[in-house]
Amino acid sequence: MKKLFTAQSTVGEIVAIFPKASDLFRAYKIDFCCGGSRSLSDVVTEKQLDIETILNKLQSMYEKSLEKVEKNWLEVSYKELIDHIIQTHHQFLLEELPQLTPYVTKVARVHGPTQPHLIQVHQLFHELKIELEQHLMKEEKDVFPLIIQFETSPTKENEQIMKQAIEELTAEHERAGDIIKRIREVTNDFTLPVDACGTYRLVYNRLEALENDLFTHIHLENNILFPRILHGK
């Protein structure tokens, strides 16, 4: 089978065409959401990885995936994709952020005096929470309704408003992505001490799950929804 991806493919394009590639990219700490516009070659060179190894793994994963049928977000309507983003990723954040807050605070309060990085995790988490809550509200109340309206009744005026909104949302994604990456750095890739208590473990596990969901969430918008709108697809 002819190779679907090349060294010049951007990481965002790869995950847009083959969503399971995100699992491989996460394993190698390759940013496919905010850094989705970079070529695979550039990213692999920066991380001192072997491009042929990565391409071969991608091809192998892709060929195995052909046995399964997955939703192609490049072909559905804007509304269907937006509904999926809201019902899956927005709903997750709206539930998880307030639920996780008291546990992050407790771990910082109890263990922070001897493990000061947990104080930093607490600060970063609350910064992320505020950023995302404002971002979700803006998308659901202002931008997404405009996109759905534009899909059925496109106008030049709406197109200009959307372009500006997409620039703003992309910048907000960048900020949120930077915060969660910083949390991963501060926690040494969410590495737990051997004597970590149950709450400590819960916080790290749920922060990593939040990171995974957020990267998929941002990818769907930055690398699929927004480019489709900007290129009229």
Please state the domain extents for the chain: 11-65, 78-230
Q: Per-residue pLDDT tens for 185-211?
A: 999 999 999 988 888 988 999 999 999
Q: pLDDT confidence of 67, banded at 50, 70, 90?
A: low
- Whether 70 shows a pLDDT value over 80: the answer reads no
- Average pLDDT on 82-110 reads 95
Q: What is the 3-state secondary structure (H, E, C) of 49-118?
A: CCHHHHHHHHHHHHHHHCCCCCCCCCCCCHHHHHHHHHHHHHHHHHHHHHHHHHHHHHHHHHHCCCCCHH
Q: 62 vs 181, which has greater pLDDT?
A: 181
- Interior angle at CA 36, CA 70 and CA 73, nearest 5: 25
Q: pLDDT confidence of 144, banded at 50, 70, 90?
A: very high
- Whether 68 shows a pLDDT value over 60: the answer reads no
What is the pLDDT of the chain when averaged over all its residues?
Answer: 91
- Whether 233 shows a pLDDT value over 80: the answer reads no
pLDDT at 202: 87
> In this structure, are residues 214 and 180 in contact, taking their beta carbons and an 8 Å threshold?
yes
- Identify any residues that bridge with 10 across adjacent strands, giving them in sequence order: 39
